[in-house]
Amino acid sequence: MIQVQDRLPEATLHCRGPQGLDGCSIGELTADQRIVLFAVPGAFTPTCSDKHVPGFLALNEEIRARGIDEIVCVSVNDPFVMKFWAEHLGVGGAIRFLSDGNGMFTRSIGMERDMSGGAMGMRSKRYAMIVSDGQVEWLGVDESGLQNASAESVLAALS
């Protein structure tokens, strides 16, 4: 599993834009920026929709005021689902939703989670990280619940 001080591997995440499918490389996303990247096991799932994303919406300005350029949500869901989930939650420009539809990025950082028992297949662990110019500065992972990867935990790490 990826650790603090590791560099993120190159991968392409996707979003559904006005002209179709848009790719975004990890290198482009993190170059000369300090971002929060958080992952959820699944779009439209209870903890993700009711607590995890809303926490980042509520603390968005405070997190950005502490030197964060962008907040990014990643899930092993397709770009269509991510687009409609972002619209459903009303995130606007506060959080960028990106798809790791095939789970390639998730596997490359050792964050895959087998949720076949819950009929969800291979997904991502719940995590949040602060990334500065491609290097992991801070990492919080939750095997269950939402303690270490919450917006509050990110904000505390930025203090």
DSSP 13-58: EEEEETTEEEEEEHHHHHTT-EEEEEEES-TT-HHIIIIIHHHHHH
Active site residue 48: yes
Within a domain: 7: no
Single-letter residue type at 132: S
Beta strands 122-124; 12-17: pairing state:
unpaired
Q: Rounded distance, CA 58 to CA 50, Å?
A: 12
Asked if residue 68 belongs to a domain, the reply is yes
How many domains is the chain built from?
1
Segment 21-43 shows an average pLDDT of 94
Determine which one of 15, 24, 48, 73 is catalytic.
48
Better pLDDT: 19 or 3: 3
Which segments of 61-101 are extended strands (E)?
70-75, 96-99
Domain assignment present for 151: yes
Domain with residue 72: its CATH number is: 3.40.30.10
- Is there a domain that residue 6 lies in? no
Looking at the domain assignment, is residue 43 inside a domain? yes
Residue 111 near residue 2 (C-beta atoms within 8 A): yes
Range of the domain at 126: 12-158
Taking only the tens place, the pLDDT of each residue in 103-124 is: 999 999 999 976 677 766 587 9
Beta bridge partners of 132: 34, 135
Cβ-proximal residues to 51 (8 Å cutoff; 6+ apart), any chain: 146, 150
Whole-prediction pTM: 0.93
Residue 101 lies in a domain: yes
Does residue 103 form part of some domain? Answer: yes
Asked if 97 contacts 91 with a C-beta cutoff of 8 angstroms, the reply is yes
Q: What is the pLDDT of residue 21?
A: 82
CA distance 89 to 116: 26
Cα radius of gyration rounded to whole Å, the chain: 14
* Confidence tier at 18 by pLDDT (50, 70, 90): confident
